[in-house]
Structure 1
Amino acid sequence: MRSIFMKSPSPTRTTPSGSPLHHTFTDSLMEENIEAAETIITKWDSLYGDNDAPYCNIASLFSESNREEEAKQYLSSIKGLQKAMHYLASHQSDSDQLVRAQTLMQTAMKRLEREFQQILKSSRNYLDPESVSTHSSSSRPSVSRSSFSDFDEDDDSENETESIPEVERVSAVAMADLRAIAEAMISAGYAKECFKIYKTIRKSVVDEALYNLGVERALSFQQIQKMEWEALEAKIKNWLNAVRPSVKTVFYGERILCDQVFAVSPAITESCFTYILSEGALALFGFPGNVAKCKRTPEKMFRILDLYEAVSDLWSEIESIFSFESTSIVRSAAVNSLVRLGDAVRTMLTDFETAIQKYSTKTMVPGGGIHPLTRYVMNYISFLADYSGVLSDIVFDWPLSVQSPLPESYFVSPDKDENISSPISVRLAWLILVMLCKLDGKAEMYKDVALSYLFLANNLQYVINKVRRSNLKLLLGDDWVTTHEQKVRKYASNYERMGWSKVIASLPGNPTEEIPTDQVIDHFRKFNSAFEEAYKKQSSWIVADPKLRDDIKISFARRIGPVYKDFFDNYGGVQLMNEMSIVKYTPDELGNYCSDLFFGSGGSGSVSSNSSLGGRSL
């Protein structure tokens, strides 16, 4: 018994030449692997027919009916064949079995290559970027097979997949099949063939998706520079509509697909993704930078800000999607566009300030109404306030540089509100101050001092209204509004004092005091003359804001009305009997005349908003 168990005879067989060959248990297993592989590989190879036959006519190993059994068995046999080949290469490198295994492997890879291509084409509608970006196959582990080896395990997910939408289910299954095939081919040394098929088909899908979104590739800086603004603005609008779905759908979806299909090889994932997307991404992210280099005028500011905002908002996605070293050029293109756009905005802000300072039109607004400069600048700045978030990024490290410090009285903020001290708040406030200083010079052009004050009150009130009704209110704060409302009241008071001083002086200091008849007559005559002169002159003057108009009228009525009424009640009755030409106005008539003031000859204070600061009508 000991001799039987201690002495294990080694089985032997002979080669075709008759020489004995040492044969082990492992040899038998490897032979069985080759036999099993040959059976299924040969079976499916016979289903090909003509190698040039259309793919739609080829029986698919990964169809619904075959996937669970045939595909699993096929891929499992390839793994066994690989083991046999590795073993034979190490122990029997000149064996006929190794040649046989290599031939079978070539046949199997040919089959998988065609299956890979067929799945990519037949599932194109389910592997479009939108479908893939909506969900990642990793989020559905019950549907997708995480690796080539998962085909060895039973898939017990049928019940779990019933609730998954059809598009998502098919997409996830297709990605799992592609991944299993890719892993098998890469493991067998056929990565190049797999890569070639994938990049060719997927690049056409991505290119078509970008084309449908309106992404243009042939626009050089020279071409953009030669465009009329209307044409360029239309292209900017198209770009703005395309950039978000391009990043969040096309680029993101393709990144997910590459990551899933080539999960076994990060190097191939990177190579595929870079080849497929670099061209389109560079065209997309290069466009804003080229626009930023074009001639800069005020009307282009807001489109430049739109471009900056779009790229800035998507930067985290861009950085994540194009995280490979080989796609750093794409990240650089996006960053360069942001830099150029930011530089363009800073230049245009500087040019805008300079244009305000150099504004030299000497045409006076009739009636002291709203100046075109005020309308244009405030509309422009209120639009800028809508981009406060973007502008804050752009001017964050760009300190305001002026010849004199910003007047402390301009910002009265006891608690030093953080908003008012932000770079963008200070910069927009400075632009308003530059304009107000310019308006002070415009006010001096009026020969009538009262009208100059009314002009200042009108325009500052317009500024306040614009601030109140826009995001400027959030940036400048309540204290800014309160301070400037006080200035409006001061201007209005100065107007009233200068414009109606003769009328007020014509009445007695104490209208109820007994005075001689000749002085009464003199007071009425002086009042009539002063009022008529003031009314005639001011009937064409304008107060555009209804509330300011009412406030001025109420203030004027309080100063003149009661005094005149008392004087009229005490002396007007006697004079009406004897001197009809002396008393021309009853208190009610006086009030009616005053209520008709400040509408201007046209009944309103509106003027044209065209300005020499730029060609865009705001």
Structure 2
Amino acid sequence: MPKMGFKKLFFFKPSPPPLSVSNNTFSDSLMEENIETARSVITECESQSPPLFTNTRQQAKQYLHAVITLQSTMQYLVERDSSSQKLVKAQFLMQIAMKRLQTEFYRILAENRDCLDPESVSGISSTDHQSSVSDYDDDFPEDDFQFAGDSFSTVAMADLKAIAECMVSAGYSKECVKIYILTRKSIVDEALYHLGVERFSFSQLQKMEWEVLETKIKYWLNAVRVATGTLFPGERALCDFIFGSPEKKIAESCFAEICREGAMSLFGFPENVAKCKKTSEKMFRTLDLYEAISDNWQHIESIFSFESTTSIRSQAVASQVRLGEAVRTMLMDFESAIQKESSKIPVPGGGIHPLTRYVMNYIAFLADYSNALADIVADWPKNPLPESYFQSPDRDGNNRSPEVVERFAWLILVLLCKLDAKAELYKDVALSYLFLANNMQYVVVKVRNSNLGFLLGDDWLTKHEAKVKEYVSKYERFGWSKVLALLPENPPAEMAMEQAKAIFQSFNAAVEETCRAQSSWVVSDPKLRDEIKVWIASKLVQRYWEYYEKYRGGLESVIRFSPDKLGNYLYEIVLFRAEESGSVSSHSASPPHRFKRS
């Protein structure tokens, strides 16, 4: 606040009252002596320019005790004669003293603005190191005031506490509290501003580009951690220390006034974000906001436990509820988008469909938020999952929520059903099964290598790994049955040369034709690709070897392969290719970007 503002607040010039002649009773003489002692101390300090609370505390101690004694004297005089001239004189002196203490109070707050930061005092509790004016002196042990800050800030805190107790006792609590709130509120607001907390309306957030809004969210995630960890606890600790005795309500009122506006702005931000347009890319930041409130809820509830800060707790709850609703909406929209995906163009080579990549990456990221999702979908109706596909695990002490597990299993089932329909787009039956094997393998690997594996369990993985093998087996049968049929498992002992020649010629042509067709087919997973190649090569070479050994004599001109060359040809040269990144579709196959939590 500008200096002139404080002058207007508490600088006044009362007129001195006339002196009166008192009765010569012992009590009256004692009261008059008290007033004179207070006048001497107060007048002496007013004639000096240096502040009271510097270097030694002897003068400050005398001043505070003089004020306390003056207050007691005034109470006595009020009871005896409220119109006494002594009382008028005492009131005049008290006004001068309170003006000086207000000035000192503001000076200490302002000069120690950096030392009395909330982080430095965040470890103080409301009952730590209670002191009062009665035991405040120039040689108080600084060790009694060692908190998280340095010795200078602890001395300042002791000074502020002593002044506050004196002013409150003298009936000047409003003046003291007003100075304190104005000064400390500016510190809290400034700290929140530097943390990136700004006051945005819903309409302002709604108009922001997502990249800009996401940056604001990242700032908020850091800000709420600092605010609930040090800023607000430190401010409450400072209020409790300075105003905690004798009247606790003053500390509560100060804290509420200082922090309410900033805290409401901080905890209101997520609610406005949750009201914005909901798209799949916003899911994970929305969950980050939800988790941040959940993770810090105990701190929020503890810090803002007063009745006067109920609105702050309510705002945090309202934001979390809104965020949960937004997540539920986005989950339903995500499932609907999978079901509505209607592309009719087969993925070249039977590779991994972009829908598979997107959905599985999305669900794998969602699995990292399983605890938050457990709260959000707890009351959702169950989906009719076939028992042959999935059996929900019982609660087994591993924090697996059946509702969340079933939701993930259901989303994957929706995807697999969609892939079954897309497999029918291939005219070649073998290629359709290769497509299913590729995509199922991608699903299995993604589950195994993410938190989904823990959630869905080994039984789910075992069933779907078996499904991959089933698809591969069907691909092998439909893709190579004609070639294998050319080499019967039990060749006749004797065969005419022309017949043997025809078999070799037919076999050569069939192998080359099949390999030529399948050379453009895709097996994305290297391990799966090697397994398929090994199976095909070993199966063909095993049968081919018998024919080759028995009938190669005199047929060198028509024999295209030796057994070794046939194996190399199938395994190393022409069969399958790895999927080229980005070549399968113009669709975005990338998962939503997952940022590190701030």
Instruction: Give the alignment's TM-score, normalised by structure 1.
Output: 0.87
Which residue of structure 2 lines up, in the alignment, with residue 11 of structure 1?
Answer: none
Residues 27-42 of structure 1 mapped to structure 2, 5 A cutoff: 27-42=28-43
Task: Provide the residue aligned with 2:16 in structure 1.
Answer: none
Of 134, 140, 146, which residue of structure 1 is paired with 2:131? Answer: 146
Which residue matches 2:464? 484
How big is each residue's C-alpha offset from its partner over 1:26-57, in whole Å with a ceiling of 9 and x where there is no partner? 4444344323322211211222xxxxxxxxxx
Q: Which residue of 1 aligns with 2:541?
A: 561
* Counterpart selection for 1:224 from 184, 205, 210: 205
Q: CA deviation at 1:222?
A: 1.1
CA distance in 2 between partners of 1:42 and 1:415 (Å): 80
* Conserved? CA contact 2:508–2:560, under 8 Å: yes
Which amino acid in structure 1 is aligned with residue 285 of structure 2?
Answer: R
Partner of 1:52 in structure 2?
A: none
* Whole-angstrom distance in 2 between the partners of 1:394 and 1:331: 19
- Measured after TM superposition, the shift of residue 497 of structure 1 is 0.6
- CA offsets, 1:186-221, max 9 Å, x none? 11111111111111111221221122112112x111
Distance 1:151 1:280, change over 3 A: same
1:225: how far off?
1.1
Structure 2 residue 389 is matched with structure 1 residue 410 = yes
Shift of 1:399: 3.5
1:376–1:609 contact (8 Å) kept in structure 2: no
Given that 1:511 and 1:563 are in contact with CA atoms closer than 8 Å, whether structure 2 keeps it comes out as no
Provide, for residues 301-356 of structure 1, a one-character-per-residue CA deviation record: whole Å limited to 9, x for no partner. Answer: 11111111122212211122222222211111111110111000011011100100
Aligned match for 2:110, one of 114, 121, 132: 121
* Equivalence for 2:15: none
1:177 counterpart letter in structure 2? D
> What is the Cα deviation at residue 598 of structure 1?
4.4
The aligned residue for residue 437 of structure 1 is 417
Pair 1:587 & 2:576 matched: no
Structure 1 residue 22, shift from structure 2 partner: 6.8
Q: How many residues align?
A: 573
What are the Cα deviations for residues 580-613 of structure 1, in whole angstroms up to 9, with x where unaligned? 22x222111211221134433x775864576479
The aligned residue for residue 89 of structure 1 is 78
Give the aligned residue type for 2:31. M
Matched to 1:114, the amino acid is T
Distance 1:140 1:329, change over 3 A: closer
Q: CA deviation at 1:375?
A: 0.7
Q: For the aligned residues, what is the CA RMSD?
A: 2.7
Alignment deviations for residues 262-283 of structure 1 (CA, whole Å, 9 cap, x no partner): 1132322222222222111111
Per-residue CA deviation, residues 273-294 of structure 1 (Å, 9 max, x unaligned), is 2222211111111111111111
CA 1:476–1:606: 2 relative to 1, 3 Å: farther
Q: Who is 1:5 aligned against?
A: none
Residue 141 of structure 2 corresponds to which residue in structure 1?
Answer: 157
> Which one-letter code corresponds to 2:50 in the other structure?
A
Structure 1 Cα separation of the partners of residues 152 and 321 of structure 2:
43
Q: Deviations over 1:377-414 (max 9, x none)?
A: 111111111222222222223343x3xx2122223689
After TM superposition, the structure 1 stretch with the greater mean CA deviation from structure 2, 519-528 or 483-492, is 519-528
SS at match of 1:459: helix
State whether residues 458 and 545 of structure 1, in contact with CA within 8 Å, keep that contact through their aligned partners in structure 2. Answer: yes
CA 1:336 to 1:613, structure 2 compared with 1: closer, same or farther past 3 Å? Answer: farther
Change (3 A) 1:105 1:213: same
Contact 2:74 2:91 in 1 (8 A): yes
CA shift, 1:97, in A, is 2.1
For residue 476 of structure 1, report the CA deviation from its aligned partner. 1.7
CA distance in structure 1 between the partners assigned to 2:471 and 2:20 by the alignment: 118
Letter of the aligned partner of 1:102 in structure 2? Answer: Q
Distance in 1, Cα, partners of 2:395 & 2:313? 40
Query: What code does the residue aligned with 2:203 have?
Result: Q
Paired AA for residue 133 in structure 2: F
The answer to whether the Cα contact below 8 Å between 2:392 and 2:405 also exists between their aligned partners in 1 is no
**Structure-2 change in CA distance of 1:608 and 1:447 (3 Å):** closer
SS at match of 1:409: coil
- After superposition, what is the alpha-carbon deviation per residue over 1:498-553, rounded to whole angstroms, capped at 9, x for unaligned? 10000111102213733443442343233223222211211111111111011112
- Unmatched 5+ stretches in structure 2: 1-18
Q: Does 1:367 find its partner at 2:349?
A: yes
Contact 1:182 1:194 in 2 (8 A): yes
- Structure 1 residue 127: deviation in Å? 0.9
CA contact (8 A) 1:178 1:261 kept: yes
Residues 378 and 318 of structure 1, relative CA distance in 2, 3 Å threshold: same
The letter of the residue matching 2:231 is: V
Range moving further from structure 2, 516-525 or 81-90: 516-525
CA contact (8 A) 2:351 2:579 kept: no
Amino acid paired to 1:584? R
Contact 2:361 2:591 in 1 (8 A): no
The separation in 2 between residues aligned to 1:603 and 1:90, in whole angstroms, is 97
Contact kept? 1:503, 1:527, Cα under 8 Å: yes
Structure 2 contact 102–176 (Cα < 8 Å) conserved? yes
**Alignment partners' CA distance in 1, 2:279 and 2:223:** 25
Q: For the residues of structure 2 that align with 1:469 and 1:598, how far apart are their CA atoms?
A: 28
Equivalent of 1:343 in 325, 335, 340: 325
The 5 A counterparts of 1:187-226 are 187-217=169-199, 219-226=200-207
Shift of 1:103: 1.8
Q: 1:384 aligns with which of 366, 373, 377?
A: 366
The change in CA–CA distance for 1:268 and 1:598 in structure 2 (over 3 A counts) is farther
Residue aligned with 2:461, SS: helix
1:113, 1:342 → 2: CA distance? 48
Indicate which of 439, 442, 447 corresponds to 1:462: 442
1:171 aligns with 2:150: no
Identity of matched residues, % = 59
Instruction: Return the alpha-carbon distance in structure 1 between the equivalents of residues 593 and 253 of structure 2.
Output: 50
Deviations 1:161-193 (A, max 9, x none): 79x599422222212211111111111111111
Distance 1:16 1:533 in 2: 127
CA contact (8 A) 1:544 1:599 kept: no
The residue that corresponds to 2:407 in the other structure is: 427
Which amino acid is the alignment partner of residue 81 of structure 1? Answer: L
1:598 to 1:251, Cα distance in 2 relative to 1, 3 A: farther
Residue identity opposite 2:569 in structure 1: Y
Cα distance in 2 between the residues matched to 1:16 and 1:208: 52
Secondary structure, in 3 states, of the residue corresponding to 1:225? helix
Q: For 1:396 and 1:266, how far apart are their aligned partners in 2?
A: 41
Matches of 2:256 and 2:584, distance apart in 1: 55
Q: CA deviation at 1:226?
A: 1.6
Q: How far did residue 16 of structure 1 move?
A: 7.5
In 1, Cα distance between the equivalents of 2:581 and 2:120?
58
Q: Secondary structure at the match of 1:130?
A: coil
Matched, 1:59 2:35: no
Asked whether 1:23 is paired with 2:3, we answer: no
Q: Residue 426 of structure 2 aligns to a residue in which SS?
A: coil
Moved more, 372-381 or 36-45: 36-45
The alignment's TM-score, normalised by the length of structure 2, stands at 0.89
Aligned with residue 292 of structure 1, among 259, 274, 280: 274
Larger Rg: 1
Aligned with residue 334 of structure 2, among 328, 331, 352: 352
3-state SS in 2 of match to 1:131: coil
